[in-house]
């Protein structure tokens, strides 16, 4: 159990640091939207502001999600849960986090397929495509672009989604380890966020 708890502390520390950096992304988003308003009012409207704001929001949401799980900032139904002991909460959370892990695994597989498509792969085996990119047996094809006037490439934001989902999956595994430890009577110190 001590090796698993070290893994959980490592993942918690990583997501804590990333979350502290990503939380300032809201100011980046505000700057983009402010520039959009100024340019539409006083200059020619910028073509890029809407999509860059959307991409920034995706990064903010996807990379900040693991930090929200770590800090317990997600919405819960506390009708019964709030009155339970810490050990009983942990036992229920062990069960429910398994659904989250399954869901995140499905989302991650879909994100890998979508990113492979945006890199020009038309097949049905995205994991083999990415392995082939690493070994040199696959090549990047025609890159997917947005259908707007600005036409940015789509693969960077899809890559951010893969990173965010991977971090969220790792954080869910960390929560599973901590809940298992709490349910079996181990004392786990809370992370200060």
Buried b (16+ CB within 10 A) or exposed e, 52-63: bbebbeebbebb
**Tens digits of residue pLDDT in 63-72:** 999 999 999 8
The Cα 183–Cα 44 span in angstroms is: 60
**Tens digits of residue pLDDT in 36-77:** 999 989 988 888 999 999 999 999 999 999 999 999 887 777
| Tokens found for residue 166 | 């991977």
pLDDT at 190: 67
* Residues in the chain with pLDDT values less than 50: none
The Cα 142–Cα 152 span in angstroms is: 13
Which residues are within 8 A (CB) of 181 and not within 5 positions of it... i.e. 6 or more apart?
Answer: 1, 4, 5, 90, 188
| Tokens found for residue 177 | 């380890």
Residue the block writes with tokens 């693991």:
66
């Amino acid at each position: 159990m001590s090796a698993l708890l070290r893994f959980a502390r490592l993942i918690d520390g990583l997501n804590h640091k990333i979350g502290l950096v990503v939380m300032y992304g809201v100011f980046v988003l505000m700057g983009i939207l402010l520039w959009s308003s100024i340019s539409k009012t006083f200059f020619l409207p910028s073509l890029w502001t809407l999509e860059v704001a959307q991409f920034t929001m995706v990064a903010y949401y996807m990379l900040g999600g693991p930090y929200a799980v770590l800090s317990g900032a997600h919405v819960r139904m506390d009708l019964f849960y709030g009155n339970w002991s810490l050990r009983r909460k942990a036992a229920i959370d062990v069960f429910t986090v398994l659904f989250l892990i399954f869901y995140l695994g499905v989302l991650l597989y879909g994100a890998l397929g979508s990113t492979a498509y945006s890199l020009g792969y038309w097949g049905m085996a995205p994991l083999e495509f990415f392995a082939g990119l690493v070994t040199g047996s696959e090549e990047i094809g025609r890159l997917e672009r947005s259908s707007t006037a600005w036409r940015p490439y789509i693969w960077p934001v899809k890559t951010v989604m893969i990173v965010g989902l991977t971090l969220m999956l790792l954080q869910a595994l960390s929560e599973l380890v901590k809940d298992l430890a709490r349910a079996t009577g181990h004392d786990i110190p809370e992370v200060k966020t």
